[in-house]
Amino acid sequence: MTANDSTTTGQAAPGESDAVVMRGVSKWYGDFQVLTDIDLNVRRGERVVICGPSGSGKSTLIRCINRLEEHQQGDIIVDGVALTDDLRSVDRVRREVGMVFQQFNLFPHLTVLENCVLAPMRVRGASRRAAEEQALALLARVRIPEQAGKYPGQLSGGQQQRVAIARALCMNPRIMLFDEPTSALDPEMVKEVLDVMVELAGDGMTMLCVTHEMGFARRIADRVIFMDGGQIVEQADPEAFFTAPKHARTQAFLSQVLGER
């Protein structure tokens, strides 16, 4: 099913400023095409928000970036590494790309601190002391240092998601992927998570974020991408995107998500 490895090697020469390059990426689940000919360049330090109706392929798209999903056609180059069937390229990319999920996905059998130090110690080979020091600093940054000894099941959803962000940051990623990070949260907890993400954006982290939080998109995004039916329908800076969407499908989507506010 994967026919891309022979074609990538020759042309893996993205510009120095590109964090993610996708060229002609397509993906199928059986007969169903989830991604169609995606072209996307994300510059270093750029903050991209991806929105679209459910089933539009937006989650699949960002999951292709760290190869949680395999693409079947086209090239994906992340931080200068072309993603192929070669496991080493996948490992290299995953070390540099942090990801935050809708359902937090913390390890329930480990404390907050252990969740944070596991990958730095076992994947990067950091010492326990250095890893814990950094983890505690990052937990302070997401404003839950006092929860370090607790288990995920003892925390609220908002707290768990902030731990998940800290856990991803502990690997010192160059790129952060967010897959609907606030969709599973109670309304009163959305803000505490978005605040952390806004702060992160302010620090110049390269971010790709799938979200329905349009206020957040407007505030931090350099670019908003609208997907529908597995394609990028429209992309623009937030100002243009929200005030003057060009495509009819974008307009329909925006009136739906913004209409009720």
Tokens of 210: 């799938």
**Min separation Cβ 42 and another protein, Å:** 18
User: Cα(230)–Cα(35) distance, rounded to whole angstroms?
Assistant: 4
Residue 92 CA, chain-centre distance (Å), reads 17
**Min separation Cβ 118 and another protein, Å:** 6
- Give the residue from 143, 188, 185 showing the smallest Cα distance to 162: 143
Site string for another protein, 153-192 (x = CB under 8 A): xxx-----------xx--x---------------------
Find the binding residues for another protein in span 67-106 (CB under 8 A). 68, 91, 94-95, 97, 99, 101, 103, 105-106
**Min separation Cβ 168 and another protein, Å:** 8
- Under rule CB under 8 A, residue 150 binds another protein: yes
Residue 143 CA, chain-centre distance (Å), reads 21
Site string for another protein, 202-221 (x = CB under 8 A): --------------------
For another protein, the closer CB: 35 or 169: 169
**Min separation Cβ 170 and another protein, Å:** 9
Beta strands in the chain (DSSP E): 18-29, 32-43, 47-51, 73-78, 81-82, 97-100, 175-179, 206-210, 223-228, 231-236
Q: Which residue has the tokens 């089933």?
A: 55
Neighbouring C-beta atoms of residue 260, cutoff 10 Å? 6
**Min separation Cβ 93 and another protein, Å:** 9
Binder to another protein among 29, 123, 128, 186 (CB under 8 A)? 123
CB contact at 8 A, 28 and 34: yes
Q: How many residues does the chain have?
A: 261
Q: Which run of H or of E encompasses 145?
A: none
- Under rule CB under 8 A, residue 122 binds another protein: yes
Coil, strand or helix: which one is 213? coil
- Under rule CB under 8 A, residue 128 binds another protein: no
> By the criterion CB under 8 A, which residues form the site for another protein?
66, 68, 91, 94-95, 97, 99, 101, 103, 105-109, 118-119, 122-123, 150-155, 167-168, 171
